[in-house]
Amino acid sequence: MPSSFQEMDMALSMDNISISNEDENSMMKAMHLPCGLVLNMVLKAAIELDLFELIAKSSAQQLSSYEIASQIPTKNPNAPLVLERILRFLANQSFLTCNIAKDDDGNNQTSYSLTPLSQSLIPDKDGSSIAPFLLLTVDPVGVNSWFHLKDAILEGEIPFNKAHGMHAFEYHGKDSRFNGAVLHNWDDEYCVKVLKNCWKALPKDGKVVVIEQIQAEYPEMNLLCKHSFSMDIAMMTMVGGGKERTNQQYEALAKQDGFTTALKTVARAYYSWVMELYK
């Protein structure tokens, strides 16, 4: 064990650092927890500045921070330097690829190109992207609700209600950005009513198609589970009775409404499952 930093191998670089000690690895993960907010807020700024779209529309499909700064309405002379730090962070998070090339004078020139991850944040041929949903999740209306999450446990209150003085669905009537009706927004009692109305309207052998997430019975460590458990907490925070449900819970709802056959899961697209209920 060296007695000072000066006695350490000064040839050590970030490329050859290996963290094999389990305690050190756990502590470093814990120390990184406060940084969890950084990524979403950087993405918010990047989307609002159209950084990803500017890169996508460039002839070479890669831009430097100086080239981007010349295309955005900034009066800040240091904008390229600030942008460079933003772009570098996004590259570290796999949203961009960092490209380094030598100029005519032998100096390093850095530019950035899109990755499959950032492609999801720019409109596709149908005009759709994940960007509006991301902006919605970091909107102050939603974020302010999270400050009252503990009240859901201590007082039984819905965090959104406490933050805004009204239920989320009342607020949605005042702000169309938050509209949308899906089963995970509702408690079991209301879901039963919705499905019962569907059942009544169906002809014999008709079906209802439900597109929702399906929560695992056990919190496994994969992307599907992480997302569904995160959305479950979001539903609890925003609408109280809303939640993500397991396959068995969806089947229980269907049986209460008179659907005779077992719930049929027919397909999955990313985090959403397509389920069919037959009369």
148 counts as catalytic: no
Neighbours of 279 (CB within 10 A): 18
Catalytic residue among 164, 167, 172, 184: 184
Residues 6+ apart with CB under 8 A from 118: 52, 90, 95, 96
Residue numbers annotated as active site: 184
